[in-house]
Structure 1
Amino acid sequence: MASPKISTEAAALRRKIIGVKIRHARSRAGLGVTEVGDALGVPATVITEIELGQRHVSLPQLEAMSLIFNVPVNYFWSEGAIKETAVEFPVREAMAIRQRIIGVLLRQARTEAGRTEHDLANVLGVSAGAISDYEFGRAPIPLQELEALADYFNLPLSYFIDEGITPHLNGHHDPTLNEIADFSQLPKDVREFLSNPANLLYVNIAMKLSELSADTLRSLAEGLLEVTY
């Protein structure tokens, strides 16, 4: 398994390219850096630094920006048509939960590969403590570092990406009679919850969690308790 360190020049160039795309999407959405910063819970100066390529951006931050700017999350690293959506989402809550889940997925990938925190630290050129912070969701992992670890584990970046955080943009699915019948059997409060597009995030998270192992779920629960108490 290869373990190349991230090139400083390549990382800087990557930050600048992503920053330009973020600034373009923000301008297209007619939003100021202060508005975006307020939505993400960070100062406007942080958004400016990200757009200038002077600061790392994390995947949860990019996912949140994709919601705010109404663009697909893969817009930030690929070209494609931008389609609009008009649904409001709990941005900060989404980022916090996604940061935790990405950490759990990272730890799961590391454990399955038989690697230690020190191994990952050597790959990224950071401390083992930083890896621990990433895995427990205590700190956001910069996108470039997440990409490097995905390559290290021979995993696609999509392993970490929550494609279901936004509604489907390609077409509309008409429910079948059986699906309507099944839905009508659910309790009223559940039907109301599922009928609200803004709650898609929580439904998708539940689906993601159902695919994780018991040990991974236990680790995620322990990490969440650290924040709660």
Structure 2
Amino acid sequence: MGLSVEAYQSIEAGESAPTLPQLESLAFFLDVPLEHFWGNQALSTLVSPDPVEQPAQLKELRQRIIGTRLRMARSTLNLSLSELSLKTNIPVDKIQRYEMGQEAIPLPDLELLASTLEIRNEDLFDQRGMIGKWRSDKVTAQNIMDLPPEVRAFISKPVNLPYLELAMRLSDLSAEKLRGVAEGLLEITY
């Protein structure tokens, strides 16, 4: 932000006010919209985490889910624990603990097991919980940022929402129905 620690602490304590460029830098650094600073609601109150998803409980649940996915893949490939152990050089009892969610799987072991069991790493990522939602939001935001600037500008205007909704409905139509719509439009214009 280009501030001394003392100046930053003075702003943080409400003793002095930041300039707009300083506020813009802070918003950029914190990865929040600049408009947030004019709101009256803290970001922490906007997203209320599911009370069930406490960090320790979440980790244990994720371990069990990952272990189950590994066990199912092993079963699908008709591999015994011993065969998987031979292919990965991971002891049978350790694989058993991994599959039961009784032991956290270090990433190198997980990558080796996933590769051996023909599971893509991405298929093991959290899809539904807080972290899964966060990841999905980040991927969506990145996909939007990858669009050409004029497309981003178009989709960011609320007035264009009907066009986007129409495009979504059209994308769900079969090729035959889409041809019918196109023919109807041609008849109208000629």
Task: Give the TM bin, normalised by the shorter chain.
Answer: 0.3 to 0.5
Which of 1 and 2 has higher RCO (CA within 8 Å, sep 6+)? 1
- TM-score if structure 2 supplies the norm length? 0.42
The structure in which a higher percent of residues are helix is 2
The structure with the largest alpha-carbon Rg is 2
